[in-house]
Amino acid sequence: MPDSALAFGIDLSKFNTSADGKKKVDFDLIAAHLPRVEFIAMRAGISWAYQDPWFNFYFAEGQRIGRVLMPYHVLYPGENPITQMDNFFRILGDINFKITPLVLDLELDHGQSVSTITKTTAQCVDLIFKRTGRVPIIYSRASWVNQFLQVADLPLTFWWLAQYLYSRPYPLYTPEFPSPPVMPRFVHHWLIHQTTQRGRSIGAPGLHYMDYNRFNGDALALVKFAYDALPENQPVTCPVDQQSCDGSRTQPLSPSPTLRAHLSQAGRCDPTGKPPVGASRSKTPAGSPEPRRSPAWLVHKTKQSPLNLDKDLNNHGNSNNTF
């Protein structure tokens, strides 16, 4: 499957709206864009107190156009993980976690030790799982993870990894980096690849650039992932025949006829109730973890290979304009 067939997504923060609030993100333009924007990540907050002022608007508009939504929260590694997650969930309110994957943004070390950063991250991952019943996503990049995290001490998690081409000078746009991204040590599956931080802005006049992302699968695989929080044997309603369907998955509201297909009819439904596909359970006994069998729907199945850290550092950017 070519990268162009991987589900395409964007991410937003307050910086995508003009500072005076007069030029808001236009979600109708996002809905009309080709390639189709299948998922939208949006910053909810930072640490224990900050809330992105445009999160509620972005989330409501994303629901209106029927996209998979992924709120993300920026961690401060030296701050209390409980109060940080309390802030995250205060911002999220009563959203439906069964269809809303949550993301932890790991880009800041604040001079903390590897042990502290790992412990804070692990506690936040555990708190999200306990409060929602679903495994969260960690956003970062291989060079940062290798420097600041002990991956083997983390609970079950998904990985969203950034890797870009060298940025072209302003005002030029930088093409997407071909998937897959470079993997951190002891990580064997990636869920999302942030492919550029200098894509053409889509419906967002606040910034000239926009972050682009690719899900490791097509649109149906994305929807299956978004609904994988459903407990085993919980009845759901099939959008095709409106009948109850035990243990299978439906898709979020969407104008796309393709996404309205019943996932079990498409051969992509896993009614087993097992842990979500594509996750990496990193916590293992001492020593190098063995690569695990890749889930069938993952397009890019990666074997661990040694990193060229100099090349890794050069190829990876950060997303300070939006994250």
Q: How many CA atoms lie within 13 A of 67 on its CB side?
A: 27
pLDDT > 90 fraction of the chain, expressed in percent and rounded: 69
Helix (H) / strand (E) containing 311: helix 309-315
The whole-number average pLDDT for the span 180-196 is 97
**What whole-number distance in Å separates Cα of residue 323 and Cα of residue 211?**
10
Say if residue 171 is preceded by a cis peptide, omega within 30 of 0: yes
How far apart (Å, rounded) are the C-alpha atoms in residues 143 and 318?
A: 11
Residue 215, strand partner residues: 192
Contact 59, 95 (CB under 8 A): yes
| Alpha carbons 155 and 124: distance in angstroms, whole number | 10
H-run or E-run covering 226: helix 219-226
Q: List, for residues 78-129, the tens digit of each pLDDT value.
A: 999 999 999 999 999 999 999 999 999 999 999 999 999 999 999 999 999 9
Cis peptide before 257 (omega within 30 of 0): no
pTM of the model as a whole: 0.76
Fold (topology level) of 3-223+277-315 = TIM Barrel (3.20.20)
Beta bridge partners of 157: 280
Q: Residues 290, 294, 298, CA angle at the centre, nearest 5°?
A: 145
End-to-end CA distance of the chain: 29
Domain ranges in the chain are: 3-223+277-315
Q: What is the pLDDT of residues 264-284, one digit of tens each?
A: 333 333 333 334 444 555 553
